[in-house]
Amino acid sequence: MAVTIKTEILPVCETSVLRAADMLCCGEVVAVPSETVYGLAADATNEQAVLKIFSVKRRPADNPLIVHCDSKNMALTLIKEASSDFNLLADTFWPGPLTIVTTQNGILPSVVTAGGSTVALRVPADDFFKSVITACGVPLAAPSANLSTRVSPTSAKDVLAQLSGIIPLIIDGGDCRVGVESSIIYLSGDTPVLLRPGDITIEELENTLHKKIILPEKNTPTAPGMKYKHYAPRSKITLYSGNDFGKFLKKQSHPFGAVCFEEEIKEIEANVKISFGRFDDVKAQQRMLFSIIKNLDDYLPLHWYIHINNKHSAVYNRLIKAAGGDEFTR
């Protein structure tokens, strides 16, 4: 029989930092806010605590975790050497929504890295999260605080909906500023590879490194977690990346919903319409993405057409998975 525990929710404050750190140091898991999405944290140096993350999330053991540090200095204690690319990226984008994968030095228990030779590192920008890491004095492993294959949470309420009665503590830091998970760059090969697009774009990364970065679909390795089914609501989703969404929708005969840009919402015809923000407001689209995906199922059963406009974006990367690859370009 599954054991249910009481899930406490605390606000972001000094006392909560100490309370969360206390629990983490005792080997518990705690859901914490970050600027990207909420994370399910555990002491990365404590094998049993890290195993709890896998069991709570029902996460396959071959999917390694991101290790969160309070500073570049803490990150340096976990890796073999800091290449010039590592230094450039860490100095430019940390603290922030960039995860850097590089060769590890074997200090962490192997469950964290799924037995691999590399470790994924990030210094989060969220002050609360960083203070908890500092209070613990150890790096914290933290995947997104959702059940495996489900949508990442961007509010404490989202975490509670999935993990209530399963974890002891959620810290409520409000809505996440970015709304999609961090960009992940792999630095252990000859050329850097963008394993997962996020808020920090490939252009920003290339401009910092002054070199080309390989995109995930063109090369391996990709992040192990990307092979799992993700983000899929029960509703059917089809993406549309052409330039006349209204005309395309007129050709559909079954009842359907449309997720469209603010500029076209008046003109298009659909049974239900949801705005995805303004055409060129990528940041707003990122922030809204996961709540839109979650809301689609409120209208079941419905086939959703979603207008997208940038195939290199974090938004497209998540939506094409939600759509199971179903996309029209004209």
The pair of three-digit structure tokens given for residue 279, joined into one six-digit string = 């055409």
**From the list ligand TXA, Mg ion, none, partner contacted by residue 317 (C-beta under 5 to 8 A by kind):** none
The reply to whether omega before 168 is within 30° of 0 (cis) is no
Q: What residues between 287 and 316 interact with Mg ion by CB under 5 A?
A: none
Rounded to the nearest whole angstrom, what is the least distance from the CB of residue 186 to ligand TXA in the complex? 6
Residue 36 touching Mg ion (CB under 5 A): no
DSSP 246-293: HHHHHT--S-EEEEE-GGGTTT---SEEEE---TT-HHHHHHHHHHHH
User: For residues 233, 235, 239 and 243, what is the CA-based torsion angle, rounded to 10 degrees?
Assistant: -130
* Residues 224, 226, 231: CA angle, nearest 5 degrees: 145
Rounded to the nearest whole angstrom, what is the least distance from the CB of residue 60 to ligand TXA in the complex? 10
Rounded to the nearest whole angstrom, what is the least distance from the CB of residue 124 to Mg ion in the complex? 15
Residue 144 touching Mg ion (CB under 5 A): yes
Rounded to the nearest whole angstrom, what is the least distance from the CB of residue 15 to ligand TXA in the complex? 23
- Taking CB positions, which residue lies at the least distance from ligand TXA? 225
Give the three-class secondary structure for 37: coil
**From the list ligand TXA, Mg ion, none, partner contacted by residue 64 (C-beta under 5 to 8 A by kind):** ligand TXA
Residue 34 touching Mg ion (CB under 5 A): no
Rounded to the nearest whole angstrom, what is the least distance from the CB of residue 161 to Mg ion in the complex? 15
Nearer to ligand TXA, 39 or 139 (CB): 39
Report the distance separating Cα 317 and Cα 295, nearest Å.
19
**From the list Mg ion, ligand TXA, none, partner contacted by residue 17 (C-beta under 5 to 8 A by kind):** none
Nearer to ligand TXA, 92 or 148 (CB): 148
Q: What residues make contact with ligand TXA under the rule CB under 6 A?
A: 34, 36-37, 39, 63-66, 99, 101, 113, 116, 118-120, 122, 142-144, 181-182, 184, 195, 223-226
Range in contact with Mg ion (rule: CB under 5 A) among 45-53, 106-114, 137-145, 163-171: 137-145
Strand-by-strand arrangement of the 169-172 sheet:
8-11, 169-172, 30-32, 39-43, 140-141, 66-68, 118-122, 98-103, 183-186, 193-196
Report the distance separating Cα 155 and Cα 175, nearest Å.
5
Q: Count Cβ atoms below 10 Å from residue 253 Cβ, excluding itself.
A: 6
Rounded to the nearest whole angstrom, what is the least distance from the CB of residue 236 to ligand TXA in the complex? 25
- Taking CB positions, which residue lies at the least distance from Mg ion? 144
Nearer to ligand TXA, 27 or 221 (CB): 221
The pair of three-digit structure tokens given for residue 307, joined into one six-digit string = 């207008």
User: For residues 210, 214, 220 and 221, what is the CA-based torsion angle, rounded to 10 degrees?
Assistant: 40
Cβ-contact 325, 278 below 8 angstroms: no
**From the list ligand TXA, Mg ion, none, partner contacted by residue 182 (C-beta under 5 to 8 A by kind):** ligand TXA
Rounded to the nearest whole angstrom, what is the least distance from the CB of residue 247 to Mg ion in the complex? 36
Nearer to ligand TXA, 126 or 327 (CB): 126
Chain residues that interact with Mg ion, rule: CB under 5 A: 144
